[in-house]
Amino acid sequence: MSSPVFISGLDRSGKTYMRFMLESHPSFAFSKRTNLWPRFYKRFGDLNKDDNLDRCLEALASHKHVQALEPDFQRIRWDLEAGPRTYERLFALIHEQYAARLRKSRWGDQTELLEKYANRILAAYPDAKFIHMLRDPRDRYEAVISKSKRRGGVGAATARWLYSAALAEKNQKAYPQRYKVVRYEEMVTFPEETMYRVCEFLGEKYYPPMVKMGDVPRFANAATVNAGDAPGPLTTAYVGRFEDNLPTREIVFIQKLSRRYMRLFDYPIERIRFSLSERARFYSFHLLINSIRMFGWRMRNMAAR
């Protein structure tokens, strides 16, 4: 097997929609949130040492999203003996085994913020390609807070979006033939055209039923919103929701800090007029406190690398 596909980006940016559509294609078998690269890559030392390999396989076997792939670790151990004992090859064997079970010719993985490992992954798998899902930062933040109250509020959410958008720009420039940014808004507004271009990018023939996601058993009988991670049908209903659901001060903050990347990825800047009192409160309090929260997220992200 060759030519793996990695779907990256932030939460609430359309990664699951993209995965379900590609899973409906005859060629692709996808995993989700395995976190193999952020959680396991080189965390157990040299895998040529049996003790290190044992610890790594034991940790993998206890991870629920790896368990969902039902890997045969005894067979994986045997296969590793036939070639280099590297993390890259170990991860590929897990995915290849799953794809073979589904009788699919290519494997893929959907993991949040995987874009920060793009250099390592694209070097490890010369045929690999990335699809980076990106969404309007205002709508993405609205979607996040509508589901849960995340610590850090708009400051942390803006920092996360800027981090992902910067990697989208950098990686697409570095790997123009292997890295594609797909905007959520285009996917839900023009699904057929978007998936035609995605299939062309991946070197596959466009398969029309994929936009209905009907060939994915977990989704086939769903009418609207499914249990778990299955999305409802593609809809434009969630495009522009920020206008009615976010406070003006938060829209202004996101736009002020994200202006460069919003323009780069064709997200229009709303023109908003503050009253004198609103302007004074924004600059004396909201801008300061949320900038501190942005800085805090960046520090935590650096510490986690």
Question: Would you list the domain boundaries of the chain?
Answer: 5-19+122-304, 28-104
The CATH number that domain 5-19+122-304 falls under is 3.40.50.300
Contact between residue 257 and residue 157 where contact means Cβ atoms under 8 Å apart: no
Tell me what the mean pLDDT of segment 30-37 comes to.
Answer: 92
Torsion of CA 97, 98, 103, 107, to 10 degrees: -100
Q: CB-based contacts of 69: which residues, under 8 Å, 6+ apart?
A: 31, 34, 94, 95, 97, 98
Neighbours of 81 (CB within 10 A): 7
Q: What is the model's pLDDT at position 225?
A: 33
pLDDT tens by residue, 185-237:
999 999 999 999 999 999 999 999 999 887 665 544 333 333 445 556 789 99
pLDDT tens digits for range 276-289: 888 898 888 999 99
d(CA 199, CA 287): 42
Structural tokens at position 64: 């629920």
By the 8 A CB rule, do 275 and 241 touch?
no
The C-alpha R_g of the chain, in whole angstroms, comes to: 21
